[in-house]
Amino acid sequence: MTSSFARSPDYPIDPLFLERWSPRAFTGEAISEADLFTMIEAARWAPSSYNSQPWRFIWARRDTPHWDRLFGLLVPGNQKWVKDTAALLFLVSNGMMNTKDGLKPSASASFDTGTASALFQLQAIRMGWHAHGMVGFDRERAPDVLNLPPHHRVEAAFAVGRRADPATLTEEQRARETPNGRRPITDFSHEGGFPPREA
């Protein structure tokens, strides 16, 4: 299903980047473990400091034994639409990494895990799925529910599914069911440093 919203880049880029967005209307179609693993495989090839690969994916497909436990971590507003997705994942980073000097804290674990997240989402789009990222979940309960080891942190949750007609959403949700735009490059890209501060 294509969007009626035309996104226009200021510079020529691959259409894949414009096709990636976060819908809330999903068909309820099931996903195979092989398709889900293909997305995680793409994430596996993300770059990371010292090749530490700090990302961890905790996942469940809908109508499988682990689904309710992960689904129960989401805030009610997200549960309303995630119930129709095919898979739910929690993306976790490991804050420690092995170096030539032994185990050390990683200054880039969240950054590296975010890079893996981007590759995961782009692979999903390439396969005709959408991945919608969320931070609306119970952060206090998540470490216990997900059985996190020490030095691990939940970064985000992702719901994966096939996009559906927005008419299946509530009126409030339909109002947001459009790919959003982006600020111009000049807002966040500065040659040589930030502009001088005003006195």
Question: What pTM, to 2 d.p., does this model score?
Answer: 0.88
Higher pLDDT, 24 or 84: 84
| Tens of pLDDT, residues 147-189 | 999 999 999 999 999 987 777 766 767 666 677 778 888 888 8
Q: What are phi and psi of 189, to 5 degrees?
A: -125, 120
| Tens of pLDDT, residues 16-32 | 888 887 778 789 999 99
Q: What are phi and psi of 102, to 5 degrees?
A: 100, -165
* Burial (CB count within 10 angstroms: exposed 0-12, middle 13-18, buried 19+), residue 114: middle
Higher pLDDT, 48 or 175: 48
